[in-house]
Structure 1
Amino acid sequence: MRLTDVLISIVIPAYNYAKTLPRAVNSVLAQLGDAQAELLVIDDGSTDATPQVLEQLLTEHAGCFRALRKPNGGLSSVRNRGIEEARGHYLIFLDADDEMAPGALAALTRHISSNPDSRLIIGGHWSVFDDGRRVQHAVKPLPATPRQRVRGYLLDKTVSLSNGACAMHREVFAPGNYPEHLRNVEDIPVFAQVLARFPCTVLDQPLALIYKHGDSMRHDLKQSLAAGVGMVDEVFSSARMPRELQDLRQAFLAQRCLSLFRDCYSAGDYVNAKAFYVRAVRADLRSLTRWSYTRKAIRLLFK
């Protein structure tokens, strides 16, 4: 297919997901015929049976999708490679342990036809839990202005985005790709720059089934601490965030510190928790009025 023939590229990053990769791949292949779309799977140097599983899938579905293997570099490096290798105008990054919802590609194709200027399409999704429960998350209307969208995403938490449940035009990566020095929070700088700089629309339909894993908290905390507050600098770099929105930086720094405070407090890391709370207050005194955090900070005095 020529570049202009491919409307949507679905990129599945795979690192040690041999057990769930077939589910993700098959959920996409089942609907490729409903759209001008392609599937690309990128193995990020897996050390389990992912290469063998991928080879088997390529044999079973010969000519239906592409795959490549690269040295391990982390999720950002896989997505950046996907941007380079994908031939579609729009990209969807679907995690290897998730699924594309039935009818997603057909719905996206219709939406793009009706909204050709949209550069970010946000859909709903299903959360699937370890006990089998499913909870549907409908997409909410987007605020009208870039400032309201960025504030809603970074500060007010009224704008929610999930990979697999959104499609991004390749133009949105011009200000910056996924930051490879950040782990666990690499999506936030990209989503923020898109909301700040490009036309966005919502599609009122579930686009993905996102599987929730209860055993990931400790791993997430380790990655979050590694990213620390450096993520704030990345989000508000001049290349990503327009000058007129830079005034949101201090409030977001405080929000990031409060988030790290909460995570450390829940994990029993009270030394780091205290440090992050103090930094949040220094960044924005209004942090003191966030009572759910302040109550925990007061309890630290007795620990």
Structure 2
Amino acid sequence: MPEPLISIVIPAYNYASLLPRALDSVLCQMADDIELIIVNDGSTDDTREVLDTYLAGREGNITVVHQANAGAGSARNHGIRLARGEYALMLDADDELLADALDHLREAVRAHPEAGLVLGGQISVYPDGRERVRTPTPAVGTPEQLIRRYLLQKKISISHCCTLFRRDLLLARPYPESLRSAEDIPVFAYLLVNASVALVSAPLARIHKHPDSLRHSRVDEEGVEEGIEEVFSHLPSACQHLRSRYSAQCYLSVFRAALLAKDYPAARHYYLRSLRLSPIQALRWSYLRKALKLGTL
């Protein structure tokens, strides 16, 4: 078979009930220049059976692999290593591509062959049925400006399912497999400063928000520090002065998570850690008022 243009990698862990929706959204767009790779990351539900039944008798560039549970980063890396496409798209098993997504991406890489990253729009779908269309923002500037806008100002949004990556860049900077949460941030930060970015304003995917997302899981202090190190160890020297502010922001995130879990001693500890790292970050009123209620200050 000819080499595919785009490899779609779906890491699947315990989403047997939702996986067919993601598969349908890809299979209806399959063509000779597309390959699909599903990595079952040691699911304990019916994911294996769903895959066996759903893909039985289907032909084309479809690969299914099963591995012991090692996390989303490991599953994505496994799929990327198996992939043959020049570009890769990471589709989460609980999300779905829109019907014209791959056409938009083909047009984008034809128009911008120099791009290592293509950012598309998305439709965020909330548990109560609300939907919000989000369009990508330009990602241009110096490495320091890009990292500031991505990590601190949140003005550059990058999400799996609506982002196309040049695969050689993902091989050069794999997902850190020791992180079980936010393992995509170090990769996205690296790509921003090492690749030119093209935009597709049209929505490419429906991304379903739900409370059991890994993004909402608790992370201990060791995990926070490891995540910070993963981000900055691959960034140029011009970006290193942003580390303290980003670290403070990470501790504010776990401060908020500890509050939600009613772990007030941990919340106080994380807030004071953030305050020492960057008063500018920690003294924003949205966080300060929560700390004051705790009697932290």
Give the TM-score, by structure 1 length. Answer: 0.92
Cα distance in 1 for residues equivalent to 2:284 and 2:128: 33
Cα distance in 2 for residues equivalent to 1:186 and 1:215: 17
Cα distance in 2 for residues equivalent to 1:226 and 1:26: 39
Deviation at 1:11, TM superposition (A): 0.3
Q: Identify the residue that residue 275 of structure 1 maps to in structure 2.
A: 269
Matches within 5 A, 1:1-303: 1-2=1-2, 5-33=3-31, 36-216=33-213, 220-223=216-219, 227-237=223-233, 240-301=234-295
Cα distance in 2 for residues equivalent to 1:174 and 1:54: 27
Single out whichever of 60-69 and 275-284 deviates more from structure 2.
60-69
Cα distance in 2 for residues equivalent to 1:226 and 1:128: 32
Deviation at 1:288, TM superposition (A): 4.5
**CA distances 1:67-86 after superposition (whole Å, capped 9, x unpaired):** 11111111111011011001
Question: Residues 183 and 226 of structure 1 are in contact (CA less than 8 Å); yes or no, is this contact kept in structure 2?
Answer: no
Give 3-state SS (helix, strand or coil) of 2:190's partner.
helix
Question: Residues 88 and 165 of structure 2 are in contact (CA less than 8 Å); yes or no, is this contact kept in structure 1?
Answer: yes
Partner letter of residue 50 of structure 2?
Answer: V
**CA distances 1:78-124 after superposition (whole Å, capped 9, x unpaired):** 01101100111111110111101110101100100010010011111
Deviation at 1:258, TM superposition (A): 1.3
Deviation at 1:226, TM superposition (A): 6.5
Give 3-state SS (helix, strand or coil) of 2:241's partner.
helix
Partner letter of residue 6 of structure 1?
Answer: P
Aligned residues: 297
Question: Residues 218 and 254 of structure 2 are in contact (CA less than 8 Å); yes or no, is this contact kept in structure 1?
Answer: no
Cα distance in 1 for residues equivalent to 2:54 and 2:200: 31
Deviation at 1:191, TM superposition (A): 0.4
**CA distances 1:239-283 after superposition (whole Å, capped 9, x unpaired):** x11122111111111111111112212321111111111111111
Deviation at 1:46, TM superposition (A): 1.4
Question: Residues 219 and 254 of structure 2 are in contact (CA less than 8 Å); yes or no, is this contact kept in structure 1?
Answer: no
Partner letter of residue 29 of structure 1?
Answer: L
Give the TM-score, by structure 2 length. Answer: 0.94
Partner letter of residue 82 of structure 2?
Answer: E
Question: Residues 14 and 42 of structure 1 are in contact (CA less than 8 Å); yes or no, is this contact kept in structure 2?
Answer: yes
Question: Residues 34 and 61 of structure 2 are in contact (CA less than 8 Å); yes or no, is this contact kept in structure 1?
Answer: no
Cα distance in 1 for residues equivalent to 2:94 and 2:171: 28
Change (3 A) 1:264 1:283: same
Change (3 A) 1:53 1:226: farther
Cα distance in 1 for residues equivalent to 2:247 and 2:19: 36
> Identity of counterpart residues, as a percentage?
42
Single out whichever of 120-129 and 52-61 deviates more from structure 2.
52-61
Change (3 A) 1:205 1:199: same
Cα distance in 2 for residues equivalent to 1:215 and 1:73: 18
Question: Residues 229 and 257 of structure 1 are in contact (CA less than 8 Å); yes or no, is this contact kept in structure 2?
Answer: no
Question: Residues 128 and 212 of structure 1 are in contact (CA less than 8 Å); yes or no, is this contact kept in structure 2?
Answer: yes
Cα distance in 1 for residues equivalent to 2:38 and 2:13: 10
Cα distance in 1 for residues equivalent to 2:228 and 2:288: 22
